[in-house]
């Protein structure tokens, strides 16, 4: 089969307004054929609306949707080579698993469905369950039936709207691997909507981080994590320590910053904001990049590291790592993750410590932004 790029999804200036409210601001986005693409963002940021515009279930207020070379903006949903899997997978309760999966083929008048259905059930590892009814399956199994039911139509693009939302955490994690495997096997373009950053990062080749109807940043999970360009992305994807600092000087590709009464070094290439002497920058570092040394051993900290002194206020043992909260003059709650290899028993609440990390692991952001953007949303999610 020749590749016709029919599975490329191209959104050009697509937007959606409801009265005076803009759910999705004009958006340009290309999802390459065969990729696993995730739209990630907090509740209400416009993920479902974007997906529904691709499916044809929602009419855009402006812009166009193309699949491959074809402009499908005016096509009704059933004429688009697209299928959608929703969080509520609504299987047909009176039909068994085999017939649920066969449904799309039968509707198209195809009589000999057995081979295709068997293959599909094999793909989602439900060959043994073919004659059961949906209520006799677990949530994860039902979700796989919904997936098989959509994939059997051989869509060019599969849209998934929080398909794992109804599953408990462990099953969710398992299904994330499964979905990844299935996508690789079938090679169909997947556009996956989720508010779970870990889910987006484990599965997708490319993640678009959405905030209030806009894509804030788009990239590979690694790129987004290591090089966030906004405070929202830095805080929403994992955890970041952000410090307000003043640009002191520049030398040899590095920016030297004043933070509290100390100095920090930031490679110029890792600063997404203009940095001029006297100006302000937000300095960021991820918790697992930081080492923690008891103040008594401060002399052992290698030169050339960024360092900050502080007092441990809390520790939390999570098995693989210990998480520390450290109060310092530049940041009231520095978060540090230390892998549990050789635990220093002196690092307890009340202890004075030196936090230190490589300048190469430091990133710089525009200080005009809200330093806490994206933080609350994560906490709200955790409380649910």
Which residues of the chain form contacts with ligand ATP (CB under 6 A)? 18, 21, 23, 41, 43-49, 195
- For 291, 312, 318, 338, 340, the CA distances from 343, given in Å and listed in that order, are 12, 15, 13, 9, 6
Strand partners of residue 70: 67
Choosing from 15, 35, 48, 189, the residue that interacts with Mg ion (CB under 5 A) is 48
Q: List the single partner that 252 binds among ligand ATP, Mg ion, none, CB under 5 to 8 Å by kind.
A: none
Q: List the single partner that 336 binds among Mg ion, ligand ATP, none, CB under 5 to 8 Å by kind.
A: none
Nearer to ligand ATP, 19 or 299 (CB): 19
Label the pairing between strands 189-194 and 36-40.
parallel
Matching residue, tokens 């997404």: 272
CA dist 183 and 162 (Å) reads 16
Q: List the single partner that 13 binds among Mg ion, ligand ATP, none, CB under 5 to 8 Å by kind.
A: none
In sequence order, what are the residues at sequence separation of 6 or more whose Cβ sits closer than 8 angstroms to the Cβ of residue 10?
29, 30, 31, 64, 65, 66, 67
Nearest-approach distance from CB 52 to ligand ATP, in angstroms = 8
Nearest-approach distance from CB 53 to Mg ion, in angstroms = 13
Q: List the single partner that 101 binds among Mg ion, ligand ATP, none, CB under 5 to 8 Å by kind.
A: none
Nearer to ligand ATP, 41 or 310 (CB): 41
Nearest-approach distance from CB 146 to ligand ATP, in angstroms = 18
Tokens of 293: 């040394």
Q: Which of 236, 270, 239 is nearest to 254 (CA)?
A: 270
CA dist 280 and 247 (Å) reads 6
Nearest-approach distance from CB 151 to Mg ion, in angstroms = 22
Matching residue, tokens 């855009």: 60
Nearer to ligand ATP, 49 or 309 (CB): 49
Is 143 a binding residue for Mg ion by CB under 5 A? The answer is no
Tokens of 331: 């940041």
Q: List the single partner that 10 binds among ligand ATP, Mg ion, none, CB under 5 to 8 Å by kind.
A: none
Nearest-approach distance from CB 39 to ligand ATP, in angstroms = 8
Q: List the single partner that 83 binds among Mg ion, ligand ATP, none, CB under 5 to 8 Å by kind.
A: none
Label the pairing between strands 214-219 and 206-211.
antiparallel
CA dist 215 and 25 (Å) reads 9
Could you tell me which stretch among 43-51, 127-135, 181-189, 245-253 binds Mg ion (CB under 5 A)?
Answer: 43-51
Nearer to ligand ATP, 44 or 127 (CB): 44
Q: List the single partner that 23 binds among Mg ion, ligand ATP, none, CB under 5 to 8 Å by kind.
A: ligand ATP
CA dist 236 and 40 (Å) reads 10
Nearer to Mg ion, 8 or 199 (CB): 199
In sequence order, what are the residues at sequence separation of 6 or more whose Cβ sits closer than 8 angstroms to the Cβ of residue 149?
91, 100, 101, 103, 104
Nearest-approach distance from CB 356 to ligand ATP, in angstroms = 39
Nearer to ligand ATP, 33 or 161 (CB): 161
* Through-space distance between the first and last CA atoms of the chain, rounded to whole angstroms: 46
Nearer to ligand ATP, 224 or 335 (CB): 224
H or E segment and range at residue 148: helix 139-151
H or E segment and range at residue 120: helix 114-123
Nearest-approach distance from CB 346 to ligand ATP, in angstroms = 44
Tokens of 280: 């302000």
Nearest-approach distance from CB 174 to ligand ATP, in angstroms = 22
Nearer to Mg ion, 5 or 86 (CB): 86
Residues that bind Mg ion (CB under 5 A): 48
């Amino acid at each position: 089969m020749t590749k016709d790029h029919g599975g490329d999804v191209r959104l050009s200036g697509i937007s959606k307004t409801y009265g005076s409210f803009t759910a999705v601001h004009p958006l340009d986005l290309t999802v390459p054929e065969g990729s696993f693409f995730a739209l990630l963002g907090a509740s209400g940021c416009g993920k479902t609306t974007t997906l529904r515009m691709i499916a044809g279930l929602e009419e855009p207020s402006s812009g166009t949707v193309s699949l491959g070379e074809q402009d499908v903006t005016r096509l009704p949903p059933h004429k688009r080579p697209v299928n959608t899997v929703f969080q509520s997978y609504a299987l047909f309760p009176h039909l068994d698993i085999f017939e649920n999966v066969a449904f799309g083929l039968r509707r198209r008048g195809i009589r000999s469905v057995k081979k295709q259905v068997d293959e599909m059930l094999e793909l989602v590892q439900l060959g043994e369950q073919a004659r059961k009814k949906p209520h006799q399956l677990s949530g994860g199994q039902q979700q796989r039936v919904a997936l098989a039911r959509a994939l059997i139509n051989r869509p060019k693009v599969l849209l998934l709207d929080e398909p794992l939302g109804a599953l408990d955490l462990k099953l969710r994690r398992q299904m994330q691997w499964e979905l990844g495997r299935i996508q690789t096997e079938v090679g169909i373009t997947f556009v996956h909507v989720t508010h779970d950053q870990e889910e987006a990062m484990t599965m997708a080749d490319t993640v678009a981080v959405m905030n209030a109807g806009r894509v804030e940043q788009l990239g590979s999970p690694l790129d987004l994590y290591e090089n966030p360009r906004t405070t929202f992305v830095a805080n929403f994807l994992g955890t970041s320590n952000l410090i307000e600092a003043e640009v002191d000087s520049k030398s040899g590709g590095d920016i030297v910053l004043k933070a509290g009464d100390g100095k920090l070094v930031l490679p110029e290439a890792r600063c997404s904001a203009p940095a001029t002497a006297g100006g302000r920058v937000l300095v960021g570092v991820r918790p697992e990049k930081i080492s923690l040394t008891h103040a008594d051993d401060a002399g052992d900290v290698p030169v050339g590291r960024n360092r900050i002194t502080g007092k441990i206020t809390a520790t939390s043992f999570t098995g693989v790592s210990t998480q520390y909260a450290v109060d310092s003059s530049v940041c009231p709650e520095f978060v540090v993750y230390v892998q549990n290899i050789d635990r220093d028993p002196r690092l307890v609440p009340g202890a004075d410590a030196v936090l230190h990390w490589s300048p190469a692991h430091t990133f710089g952001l525009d200080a005009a932004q809200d330093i806490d953007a994206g933080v609350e949303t994560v906490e709200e999610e955790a409380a649910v």
